[in-house]
Structure 1
Amino acid sequence: MQVKFRSKALPYLLLLPSIIVSLLFLYYPALKTFVLSLYKTAFMGMRKIFVGGSNFIELFTSIEYLQSILISCFFAVGVVVIGLTLSLFIAVLSNQDIRGGRLYCLGFIWPYALSPAIAGVIWLFMFNPTAGIINYLTDLLWGISPDWVSNKHLALLMVIGAAVWKNLGYNIVFYLAALQNIPQEILEAAEMDGANSLQKFFLITFDFLKPTTLFLVIMNLIYSFFDTFGIIDILTKGGPVNATTTMIYKLYIDAFQNYKTGFAAAQSIILFIMVMGLTIAQFKWSDSKIDYGS
């Protein structure tokens, strides 16, 4: 239904609060960040020296920053591949007609309601080298008690596991909705033609899940790059030896520990370009038509 306003100014007046909030807390800070990225700054920005693109050149010649990019990419791939595979497996099982299925779904989904910091605390207790349940089980089964926090390879795996667990419910909800919208007539026809369970899943079910999977790939990439700061800060604080220092955590270190605000602003511009690219990709893929065949 089309709404007509008596006054031409009324729609703009209704939008004015949102416009003011966006200008004050979104566009103005973004503009100031871009300007700040062109300066070298002293402690807390009390003195600024214009350097142009020097901060960006320094970033891409910095071994530490390039390492943070590699860690971020490895982290993101781990979160996407493990997270989506596990979520799809759980969603397929939860979609079966079993007793108490909704309770199982609720149990898998509830971690998404937790804040990243709370999720980090839970995993920190679980992987505690002396009192954690994980080391108790590994010692009981295999006689080993690894130090998950001090070992750089194990620390990165632990952070990936925590990030996957935190976002599991989000992925399961979308996969369940997609599974429940698949026409059952097609699956029944395939079964009558002699298709087994694996053939039905990979040739029919997964084909219908492609739009949802593409959407979740983009959303999980955005999540892994930008929304996992709390988990990393609680679990490892970027260590050991910067093994879990992703791009977002490197920005935090330079801005709030090293007080290199101009340098950190340049990093935020790079992250902004990345999230803008991922958002454009999401819109492009979500609008594309997928042919399921005749």
Structure 2
Amino acid sequence: MSNTRRALFRSAWLPWALVLPQLLIIFVFFYWPTGEALYWAFTLEQPWGGGNAWVGWQNFAAVFSSEGYWHSVRISILYAASTTALAIGAALLLAMFVDREVKGSRGYRLAMIWPYAIAAPAIGIIFRFVFDPRSGVFAFLNQAAPGLWDPTLNGDHAMTMLVLAGAWQLVSYNFVFLLAGLQSIPRGLVEAAAMDGAGPLRRMRDLQAPLLAPTLFFLVIINMTDSFTHSFALVDVMTGGGPARSTDLMVYKIYSDGFKGLDYSGAAAQSIVLMLLVVGMTFLQFRFVERKLHYK
């Protein structure tokens, strides 16, 4: 006999009434905008109104033939890969310290969760102030070596500042998953490796990292997706896409082309491409990761 319990409702409309608010939210904030973007992507939207003209794949051809768009794709991949590697590496190191129950580790568990609750614009303002070349530590460095650090003029400096802010934002999220993964590993295996003379780094490389592989792959997909889609606020507050479009990421280029350049159709086509990219990453997660994760 199956132990599965099913919820039974006496009224046929009650289940629909319970899920209706969520369905409305999904429709209003996802399906409706997606449908509008699809319509605009295949039509020519006039900047000041006046109707739409069907142009087929013309908007996508214009996007893919633009060197500026491919530049945005390249720096977006660079930003996403750098942010993901730095955020997961830092979170793994912190999770190892807390997992070993070093002095003050319980306080770290609580403190490490807080940064994820801070809004992205606030993070951008904080990091922009910290890395300001005219004040603080970097002002002294620029006095000693003029031009050593200036993210307002140097694109590499601006991207570095942006990557550090994005990674700092994601460390807390990664820390929770990695700490849970480390604590799910049987202590007997870790203690046996320690008794055989394996140090912390050797245990992590040969024992813990392989067991954490599904969690790490899951975090890579989530971090990459977040970096592609949730970087707008950081870019808008910290760099505005500059200097010289060196931080004009895909999600910010959609905004700047659509709302500043008034190219609504081109921006809609770019948004569809970005959505397909995110859908592809989600497919990889469920296709190759979800089947290897086992919950008890």
TM-score of the aligned structures, taking structure 1 as reference length = 0.92
Q: Which residue of 2 aligns with 1:2?
A: 6
Aligned-residue offset at 1:223: 1.0
Partners of 2:180 and 2:246 lie apart in 1 by 37
Aligned-residue offset at 1:226: 0.5
Q: Which residue of 1 aligns with 2:236?
A: 233
Aligned-residue offset at 1:162: 0.8
Partners of 2:142 and 2:79 lie apart in 1 by 27
Q: Which residue of 2 aligns with 1:17?
A: 21
The number of aligned residues is 290
Partners of 1:92 and 1:140 lie apart in 2 by 39
Q: Which residue of 1 aligns with 2:260?
A: 257
Q: Which residue of 2 aligns with 1:123?
A: 127
Q: Which residue of 2 aligns with 1:79?
A: 83
TM-score of the aligned structures, taking structure 2 as reference length = 0.91
Aligned-residue offset at 1:121: 0.3
Q: Which residue of 2 aligns with 1:268?
A: 271
1:65 to 62, 69, 76: 69
Does the residue aligned with 2:44 lie in a helix, a strand or coil?
A: strand
Aligned-residue offset at 1:220: 0.4
* Partners of 2:76 and 2:249 within 8 A in 1: yes
**Contiguous gaps of at least 5 residues in structure 2:** none
Aligned-residue offset at 1:140: 8.5
Aligned-residue offset at 1:44: 4.3
Aligned-residue offset at 1:280: 1.2
5 Å-filtered alignment, 1:149-168, equals 149-168=152-171
Aligned-residue offset at 1:267: 0.7
Does the residue aligned with 1:43 lie in a helix, a strand or coil?
A: coil
When residues 146 and 193 of structure 1 are mapped into structure 2, their CA distance, relative to the original with a 3 A threshold, is closer
1:285 aligns with 2:288: yes
Does the residue aligned with 2:87 lie in a helix, a strand or coil?
A: helix
Aligned-residue offset at 1:23: 2.5
Partners of 1:144 and 1:41 lie apart in 2 by 44
Partners of 1:142 and 1:288 lie apart in 2 by 54
Q: Which residue of 2 aligns with 1:30?
A: 34
Partners of 2:12 and 2:272 lie apart in 1 by 38
Aligned-residue offset at 1:97: 1.7
Aligned-residue offset at 1:212: 1.1
When residues 79 and 44 of structure 1 are mapped into structure 2, their CA distance, relative to the original with a 3 A threshold, is farther
Aligned-residue offset at 1:145: 4.5
Aligned-residue offset at 1:7: 3.3
* Partners of 1:135 and 1:145 within 8 A in 2: no
Does the residue aligned with 2:149 lie in a helix, a strand or coil?
A: coil
* Partners of 2:239 and 2:247 within 8 A in 1: yes
Identity %: 34
Partners of 1:73 and 1:234 lie apart in 2 by 20
Partners of 1:107 and 1:21 lie apart in 2 by 33
1:54 aligns with 2:58: yes
Does the residue aligned with 1:49 lie in a helix, a strand or coil?
A: strand
When residues 152 and 4 of structure 1 are mapped into structure 2, their CA distance, relative to the original with a 3 A threshold, is same
After alignment, is 24-33 or 6-15 more displaced?
Answer: 6-15
For residues 166-221 of structure 1, the C-alpha deviation after alignment (integer angstroms, 9 at most, x for no partner) is 11111111111111111100111222333333321111111121111011101100
For residues 46-100 of structure 1, the C-alpha deviation after alignment (integer angstroms, 9 at most, x for no partner) is 4422211100000000010010000101111101111111211121112222222
5 Å-filtered alignment, 1:128-277, equals 128-136=132-140, 138=141, 145-277=148-280
* Partners of 2:133 and 2:142 within 8 A in 1: no
When residues 108 and 14 of structure 1 are mapped into structure 2, their CA distance, relative to the original with a 3 A threshold, is closer
When residues 45 and 167 of structure 1 are mapped into structure 2, their CA distance, relative to the original with a 3 A threshold, is farther
After alignment, is 143-152 or 265-274 more displaced?
Answer: 143-152
| Amino acid corresponding to residue 77 of structure 1 in structure 2 | A
